[in-house]
Amino acid sequence: MPSSSNPPRSSSAWLWLLAIAAVFSQTAINLARPLISYKVLALGGDATAVGAVSASFALLPVAFALWMGRISDRASRLKILLVLGVGLLAASAAALSLAQGLVQVAIAAAALGMGHLAFTIAGQSAIAKLARPDRIDAGFGWFTAAFAVGQLVGPLLGGFLLGTDTDVHPAERLEAVNQALLLSGGIALLALPTCFVRLTGSRGATGRAAAPAGKEPVKAILSRPGVKANMLASLSLLATADILLAFLPLIGEEKGVPPVVVGALLAVRAAATIFSRLMLSVLLHRWTRDQLVFASLIGSAAGLIATPFVLDIGWAAALSLILAGFFLGLGQPLTMTLVSAAVPPEARGAALALRLLGNRVGQVLLPAAAGLAAAPLGPSGAVWTACLVMAVSAAVKAPAARRDGTAES
């Protein structure tokens, strides 16, 4: 019988509380981010400005991701990171609502990105440290499924708040967007109570969190087999989801699709992502992690390439986004597992942070590149740029996917 100071290995209450916090925080983020695009348009910006502001979301995290990851390797700091992340999300949503110009919007979006980074690193590190080895895929799957719930509810709520009208005066649109951004901040605050879960209480469950803080150099982490390929896959998948959030509203404006429909389509994409993440354990009985990451890249690109052509045809747009959403959902939790498993236990926080650093670099460069592509090709060019990047990532991942092997435990 375990002592009171050493909780049972099977205890997973901390994971459920972490998932609840993730639902609220990601609902807030995914309510705010499409609204940022509408705000940029209402302030007189164009597709290039949307790309630049979307890139600013990841700009500060590029500088701070690895530092936060090193901190997360000390389990006692995870609660601080969670609370800091939620607080930044709420404050930056309020700042976005009050912003009067594009520069202010970009600064507030950067703060939003920092809040997202702090929360995500703390949550991922908690799972890497506290989940049993045979439950780590499920842990990452449930955590990222909670993210996908936020990706479903946030855009759906945003579309409902902005309504069905497509011909709205910029001043009226701006007022509605600002009110919705304030609501986003309030939703983020709902995550605070669950952030005070005692994550260090299960350290003895695995013995992994008690290791000294990871000091493995970045070069050594990157030299581990598969780390770079999985970071590239993760980067392209996450940046694609970002590009959808930023540019689907622009494609909708161009094609006369009202915000409520755009929000519903983003929610359909997220629902398919939730389903695929809940199916991870089943899929891993048939295919390896590497094979599923490869499929994630190819399937996402195949689903999205047609989306701009059919966005004004409801059922066809929904089908393309269901396909893309299912495959987009597979890659993130699996690359978390593959990267964390490739390094020593005491360096997992740093490795996951390095993966997030790669994600943030992608979130800076790809939306900016997508914005430039949107200049000659229209906003649809942004989505096609994402498809091209995923195809390149799939080519890099292909050798690992072709190797024979059984699904990892």
Q: What is the pLDDT of residues 57-71, one digit of tens each?
A: 877 777 777 777 777
The pLDDT tens digits for 306-317 are 999 999 998 999
Q: Tokens 């540019």: give the residue.
A: 247
Q: What is the pLDDT of residue 166?
A: 63
| Higher per-residue pLDDT: 288 or 372 | 288
Q: Kindly report which listed range (37-41, 129-133, 209-213) carries the lowest average pLDDT score.
A: 209-213
User: How far is Cα 160 from Cα 157, in angstroms, rounded to an integer?
Assistant: 5
User: Exposed, middle or buried by CB within 10 Å (0-12, 13-18, 19+), for 100?
Assistant: exposed
Residue type, 265: L
Please give the domain boundaries of the chain with CATH numbers for all domains: 13-200+215-401 (1.20.1250.20)
User: Exposed, middle or buried by CB within 10 Å (0-12, 13-18, 19+), for 54?
Assistant: buried
Report the chain's mean pLDDT, rounded to a whole number.
83
The pLDDT tens digits for 236-255 are 998 898 888 888 988 998 89
Helix (H, G, I), strand (E, B) or coil at 217: coil
- The conformational region for residue 256 under phi > 0 = left, psi -120 to 50 = alpha, else beta, is left
User: How far is Cα 214 from Cα 205, in angstroms, rounded to an integer?
Assistant: 19
Instruction: Dig out the tokens for 159 from the structure.
Output: 């579309």
Across 222-299, the runs of DSSP E, i.e. the strands, are none
Contact 158, 263 (CB under 8 A): yes
